[in-house]
Amino acid sequence: MNAREPVVAVVGATGAVGVEIVHCLEQRKFPLSKLRLFASARSAGKTMTFRGETLTVEELTERSFDDVNLALFSAGGSTSRKFAPIAVERGAVVVDNSSAFRMDPTVPLVVPEINADAIRSHRGIIANPNCAAIISITPLWPIHRENPVRRLILSTYQSASGAGAAAMEELRESTRAYLAGQPYEPKVLPHPYAFNVFSHNTKIDPATGYNEEETKVIQETKKIFNDPNIRVSATCIRVPVLRAHCVSITFECERPITPEEVRERLSNAPGVALVDDVERNYFPMPVDASGRDEILVGRIRKDLSDPSGRSISMFVAGDQLLKGAALNAVQIAELL
């Protein structure tokens, strides 16, 4: 790959994450000689603006990667499984935002603030982790590095953006209908979205009772931390917020730990910003996290249910489209 000025492709360019990837490449002044945009046949011909130029979205085909050095995929698992190996065969390095390759032992699963060195072992494909996993564990890494986290209990409050642009529009439309007293039949999500919360809309494993999103968070945490013994439980819930996921986190460390130690370790941690104003009762919120690169962390306090003093509870919020997806992918590309 020409590291100085690669030809970069964005696959799934018209989707919610694809649009943010293009925006991140521009905002962060990513060095490239050419940007190519790909999507399905129904989106081909649309135009997008990049650095003042109008680019036309092309239909994704097996010949799309002939001159591409770096391909950023955000078009779903089936598209990635079919086209990512083709891109690698043509000489591109792929950063994939789907779940297709995340648990493949030969594919690095990377959060740059945590395990950037894992990139060196790639064989053409690097996986971008699940958005809830990124937002949950990035603030934990500075703590885990000094005082290993042995048990982790997560409850997520996940926004519409995690289900894509169509789900975001469904939230807007169903909210308008609700306020107007009009009926609205859900089309994208399985339950009414306006003024409602429900269990994450992925299939539940009858053997464990955990849904696919929860299982991803559990498995990916172990892989990213390179710690198969860390005990993780997750409950993933969809909430009527447009973008930015929140997570309630309780973690147990190997040794006793205080809230002051946690704040100190997070105060200068990369990718994290403390929002922990007890006097004003001001803590991380989606409205503040939306559009920000950093994951907001607050409500840092002792877990009073653990008399050993080894457990902390806290609350985080992070932009699902940015650090949870597009920004993380572009950061990986920058490291490449």
Each residue's pLDDT tens digit, 134-185: 999 999 999 999 999 999 999 999 999 999 999 999 999 999 999 999 999 9
Residue 202: how many other CB atoms lie within 10 Å? 16
Mean per-residue pLDDT of the chain: 97
pTM (2 d.p.): 0.95
Q: Which helix (H) or strand (E) holds 299?
A: strand 295-302
pLDDT tens across 26-50, in order? 999 999 999 999 999 999 999 999 9
Q: What gap in Å lies between CA 318 and CA 334, rounded to an integer?
A: 21
Report whether 41 contacts 55 (CB < 8 A): no
Q: What gap in Å lies between CA 180 and CA 291, rounded to an integer?
A: 29
Active site residues: 131, 245
Residue 2 has pLDDT above 60, yes or no: no
pLDDT tens across 234-263, in order? 999 999 999 999 999 999 999 999 999 999
pLDDT given for residue 3 in this prediction: 58
Q: Is the dihedral of CA 116, 121, 125, 131 positive or negative?
A: negative
Q: What gap in Å lies between CA 311 and CA 302, rounded to an integer?
A: 6
Which residue ranges form the domains of the chain, and what is each CATH number? Answer: 7-129+325-335 (3.40.50.720), 134-320 (3.30.360.10)
Q: What is the DSSP string of 178-215?
A: HHTT-----SSSSS--TT--EE-SS-B-TTT--BHHHH
